[in-house]
Structure 1
């Protein structure tokens, strides 16, 4: 059973080793495999300008407490990717509110990825993102993503709005979305991946 653990500024000392592993996996995926040179560092960790005290890290852990996937949420009232790097993706203005967070750095451990089909761990992380958002009182999440994501998320039963047109970027075509965080989206994602119980670990949201 894979569960979702939340790490924030409040409990980061407790999960210091897990956070280090999280950043090293991000380096492996985004710098080594995807060749995102803009986030390369002299050491083998990947951190960007939004890895601050405001970040909420989502860690998917297997039964042996091994990190198998992850993601990140950033308050939109703080600096974030859509608002500060890609505002052109939302011509009407990047959405900002206390109950809107940005979703970034979705990943699955490379060893668990399946060519040609979605990894079961992807479903765990997707459910976890929504469950954590609901637990934190987040109404909507914005995201800058590859252009194939809108169809994929709609197929899962998510309600999304495209904030602008597809933008041709050096790393691939991208688009900005605004996603409603709803119980219905959680339920439909669980059905799609055969998940029968909550992903969020008990008492995993720091006080």
Structure 2
């Protein structure tokens, strides 16, 4: 089960969110070498960690093993204000589009091929569940280009928005990824579980 924390509720989850920001710094800065994100306090936060962000945290016995953030594209977001050079065409925006950012899995829980009980598939299902609860059917994302194949295998409809660019140790590409009920069914089949992964799948006002 993914823990969902809305940006407006971060103050009520200070200890966990402090660990989240340290986790993000450890993955994106220390491991991946995204030096522009380096912070002296070793907590990776940016201007989009505001009241409109939706944080999804994957826990195993209180250990953070995965994380992702969803942002409404009706406001400023990464592909409009920070990573615009990844896009040769304008990324889609609107109430039916989320930006999927800071997706990461702890090194100790990564697999060459995502496992049924692994954090990767749980996070992927969380994006689709959260999107469908908010009448969203598309996400934009900047990820390692090698994850495109896995996304298509999970029945995301993937369209590159530009060419890969070296960021730190990664080759990052901006993508438009749409999903349907078939995507959710495929992920559930891969996980061998029909149940939800979000503790609160209801519609969120921050997507408006």
TM-score by length of 2: 0.87
CA gap 1:165/1:35 in 2 versus in 1, 3 angstroms = closer
CA shift, 1:165, in A, is 3.0
Q: Which runs of 5+ in 1 are unaligned?
A: none
CA gap of 1:201–1:75, structure 2 versus 1, over 3 A, is same
State the match for 2:44 in structure 1: 46
- Give the Cα–Cα distance (whole angstroms) in 2 for the partners of residues 88 and 10 of structure 1: 30
Q: How does 1:5-84 map to 2 (within 5 A)?
A: 5-62=3-60, 64-84=61-81
Aligned to 1:188: 186
Task: Give the superposition deviation at 1:87.
Answer: 2.3
Q: 1:166 to 1:35 in 2, by over 3 A?
A: closer
Q: Which residue of 1 aligns with 2:82?
A: 85
Which stretch shows the higher mean deviation, 140-149 or 163-172? 163-172
Structure 2: distance between partners of 1:204 and 1:59 = 17
Count, aligned residues? 203
Deviation at 1:202, TM superposition (A): 4.4
Q: What is the CA-CA distance between 1:205 and the residue it aligns to? A: 6.5
Checking the alignment, whether the CA contact within 8 Å between 1:6 and 1:206 is kept in structure 2 is no
Q: Secondary structure at the match of 2:98?
A: strand
Query: Distance in 2 between the 1:184 and 1:94 partners?
Result: 24
Q: In the alignment, which residue of structure 1 is the partner of 2:113?
A: 117
> CA RMSD of the aligned region, Å?
2.1
CA distance in 2, matches of 1:28, 1:67: 12
Q: Deviations over 1:29-84 (max 9, x none)?
A: 1121122211111112111232222211111233x343321100111122222112
Instruction: Give me the TM-score of the superposition, normalised by structure 1.
Output: 0.87
